[in-house]
Chains A and B, each alone.
Chain A
């Protein structure tokens, strides 16, 4: 990676990630653009699990976008962005990117992985929800597994339609109205061999409808996989402050920075091992305030007592915590 300074510093959600260059911007539909990102110094990018997303920084905010490739030793990352007029601004900023611009991105994150034992992937997408399932379809083809896709989009507003047609041939069903879609979906859900898994991506109500129908037809949870696009959890938490009673100092814990890191930066030595909330080494005594417990170590009862917290991952429900430190 080059180290050319970007005008802004990296957001915590993309820390430890990559700095990439926009190599192509192409219009998919009136409101969707596809953006290709590559390593400015050339070379392969980290592989990713099909269905992964990339957290991309715009200004001082971040947004998550699904990668559309198969993820096998890629030389570029491709994402497609729907312009949301009243959103937080990320999609508008993304639509202004031009070839040659540099962006900070996270390493690809996986939250919608294919099931390796599936012998067939039944993919269902609505609108921009096409992006992660396109990744699934490509990866399935790579692995020699079959997939079929039901793709719902408003006439003229479908992204990646040509790629889907080429990739899936007769295994693609395009729908532009509700009743047509319902018929196809019911027919497909009732006619899958035992190796099939279902993957859905689209607006929340759409996914709820598809998953609900699958359950009614006897599909168990383990065969159902879904991702709410654009809603990938970044998990950086809210800022809060801590009052170290014995040391007589007060520290601010910013969003995206852990309490453990904040204490270390202030010169405190806190025993720690995993820094992931499982080993139990970094436990602190809480004197006042309710911690927001995000660890795997404390039992539910211990968490409810609010007298102990794991400072490597846990934060605060209250604006301030008092610690026995």
Chain B
């Protein structure tokens, strides 16, 4: 991934990556909560705004899609569709493409007549006809194709036996979890490693909420962690590659440039025809140097990192360097 260096760093106009960044903190401390809200609602931040649409396309679109393609070629286990989920993948694809066409009428269009669909995406010079339900009518099949149109990771959860099952998805940019291992797990099992949420009954409550959503309803939440380097793929699969940085970053003089706040905007959507829950994870990275350009953000993140309870810091994998990070933020 590449960051465009500002032509004029002295100007007061902040670059897009900062203005559009979904800064998640509203207070100087952070705890888990069932933080879901209706989708499609613009949130104003100190630097700009985010959240008006469902699928967010930004300056990193083509780069991130190219990264994803490489990751999938190297490790096909990042995409899996259990056989009973095939109809849900088509449901997801048609729902997302028609939403994109609505949000980006100048660059995209989607038309469906029965099962015959036409999709145009001028950002990729794409104009393609396919048949909903026919896996061979799209290059790589519908899941891979959907993953080539949006920056979001995709997870599909089936509802059976009074719970939700993670039975399909394409996750190239997991934050410290293994998609291939989680395939086939239920909602409670998926969240097994997360501290506190069981005691606080957050997971069961969230599950009840999601299972009661009616088809077509769209909600979202944010989640966050920290990442060293400009990398979105911090999956358990590649942990030996990126894990060592966690041990060295605290004393690295380049910490402010290398250390990023990673925010995930997660959409939760009941699909219309299958009733499956589609979970979209859109990940954003912003370096501490960039964060510090917005004084309120610098302070809030500094305090959140300093105050975060040990168990949560340990789980998020930031325990070895969060003090160094908050010291830098609060000192500058």
Q: CB of B85 within 8 A of chain A?
A: yes
Q: CB of A73 within 8 A of chain B?
A: yes
A108-146 contacts to B, CB under 8 A, are: 108-110, 113, 115-117, 143
Contact of B87 among A73, A110, A116, A299 (CB under 8 A): A116
Q: Is the CB of A278 within 8 A of B34?
A: yes
Q: Of all chain A residues, which has the CB nearest B159?
A: A113
Q: Is the CB of B112 within 8 A of A117?
A: no
Bound-complex Cα distance A107 to B218 (A) = 14
Contact of B214 among A47, A71, A109 (CB under 8 A): A109
Q: State how many angstroms separate the Cβ of A68 from the closest Cβ of chain B.
A: 15
Number of A-B contacts (CB under 8 A): 86
Chain B residue numbers with a CB within 8 Å of A71 are 273
> Contact string, B108-148, partner A, CB cutoff 8 A, digits 1/0?
00001111000000000000000010000000000000000
Q: Is the CB of B37 within 8 A of A46?
A: no
Contact of B35 among A73, A275, A279 (CB under 8 A): A279
Q: Of all chain A residues, which has the CB nearest B37?
A: A273
Q: Is the CB of B214 within 8 A of A278?
A: no
Contact of B85 among A49, A110, A116, A274 (CB under 8 A): A116
Chain A residue numbers with a CB within 8 Å of B219 are 274, 276
Chain B residue numbers with a CB within 8 Å of A299 are 201
Contact of B36 among A49, A117, A273 (CB under 8 A): A273
Q: Is the CB of B274 within 8 A of A73?
A: no
Q: Is the CB of A47 within 8 A of B37?
A: no
| A48 and B272 in contact, given A278-B209, A296-B208 (Cβ under 8 angstroms) | yes
Interface centre among B87, B94, B272 (most CB of A within 10 A): B272
Chain B residue numbers with a CB within 8 Å of A115 are 160
Chain A residue numbers with a CB within 8 Å of B208 are 278, 296
Contact of B34 among A72, A110, A116, A274 (CB under 8 A): A274
Q: State how many angstroms separate the Cβ of B265 from the closest Cβ of chain A.
A: 15
Chain A residue numbers with a CB within 8 Å of B201 are 299
- Chain A interface residue count, Cβ-Cβ cutoff 8 angstroms: 30
Bound-complex Cα distance A278 to B201 (A) = 11
Chain B residue numbers with a CB within 8 Å of A46 are 216, 272
Bound-complex Cα distance A44 to B94 (A) = 13
Chain A residue numbers with a CB within 8 Å of B132 are 73
Q: CB of B152 within 8 A of chain A?
A: no
Contact of A222 among B158, B161, B215, B276 (CB under 8 A): B161
| A275 and B84 in contact, given A47-B272, A116-B274, A297-B205 (Cβ under 8 angstroms) | no
Bound-complex Cα distance A273 to B85 (A) = 31
Prevailing SS type, chain A contact patch: loop
Bound-complex Cα distance A107 to B33 (A) = 30
Bound-complex Cα distance A49 to B216 (A) = 11
Q: CB of A280 within 8 A of chain B?
A: yes
> Contact string, B219-245, partner A, CB cutoff 8 A, digits 1/0?
100000000000000000000000000
Q: Of all chain A residues, which has the CB nearest B219?
A: A274
Q: State how many angstroms separate the Cβ of B116 from the closest Cβ of chain A.
A: 10
Q: Is the CB of A278 within 8 A of B206?
A: yes
Q: Is the CB of B160 within 8 A of A117?
A: yes
Chain A residue numbers with a CB within 8 Å of B162 are 222
A56-115 contacts to B, CB under 8 A, are: 71-73, 107-110, 113, 115
Interface centre among B84, B201, B206 (most CB of A within 10 A): B84
Chain B residue numbers with a CB within 8 Å of A49 are 215, 272-275
Enumerate the 7 nearest inter-chain pairs by beta-carbon distance, A residue then B residue, closest first: A47-B273, A49-B275, A47-B272, A116-B84, A278-B209, A222-B161, A273-B37
User: What are 28 A-B interface contacts by the 8 Å CB criterion?
Assistant: A47-B91, A47-B273, A48-B215, A48-B272, A48-B273, A52-B215, A72-B115, A73-B112, A110-B214, A113-B159, A115-B160, A116-B85, A116-B87, A116-B158, A117-B158, A273-B35, A273-B36, A273-B37, A274-B36, A274-B38, A274-B209, A274-B219, A276-B219, A278-B34, A278-B208, A296-B205, A296-B208, A296-B209
